[in-house]
Chains A and B, each alone.
Chain A
């Protein structure tokens, strides 16, 4: 699965995107996946320390943390939007 990081997620994790092999996505929630990511190192742990500001999109559609990843091919992590 293609994993994208925007704004300070990219700064803290140190990359804009990566490919992660995921199995059992039919029963894996976004929250479960964040838990796995947070265990990958200090940058990840810092990025995901405050779950209130972790926003997620599956295939460019914003979802909540309880959503199952299912057949999505792209997941993106980003802070609240500040455009306009």
Chain B
């Protein structure tokens, strides 16, 4: 049994202008100790799926219209809110992109870290503070003892993100969801933070869902990748396979459109057009208006996630996945 299994999840947003179909039948799973990277551009539904798993979706305007989220065998969508609250933070935790706006500016970081232990474990404030220092040490914040009483604005961007990681790790959850955890950081600091995250994941044998738009970060840390487009998974594969030979034209296009660091390239490949409006997703394959391979069938029939390998570890939602793979 996987640690977390999302099955055919559908999420909609009801707005004044109409219904935006943000997630349209997403299924993925994560095992303990495994890293799943969810890759996609803005509006692909990658963060909304994560919010649905965590139970922090704004309802309304959001609405989960179908599917199951099985966490350690229980369907989270059937739990009552107070049961859900016990899961959140203690058994699964989330790391956000912007640490400065995720931390409370008027509470010291020690109080915010300690709060986890006071609320979930019923510890005294004094013990909780000692735990907070321990956690700050663990994420390598220098002079943790002296800095535990400081406020978020007194830390650098990299250190604030470490504090976020410390907070997520505090109760040793089984699953961590990191939503663009290093996007706001500089590259040298990004490397430090990703290393720390990978190390802690190993140590506690946690499942990690890493949500990002950066193909480089994914290549470094993920075991498997789910590529999302217009609220659906278009390709799912072990990390090595997808970079060597993508089986979906969208993945191919993404890989070709990033310039290389190790050599000067020719003109960049650019995927034509724009991502679709979620209120008017094109019929058939959502990628068809931008796809160089599109045929009539792509405009009429929505492709299911075809099995590319026998065991189903590789899947592609393209009618022409064989051709895409062959030309890779």
A binds B: no
- Using a CB–CB cutoff of 8 Å, the interface residues on chain B facing chain A are none
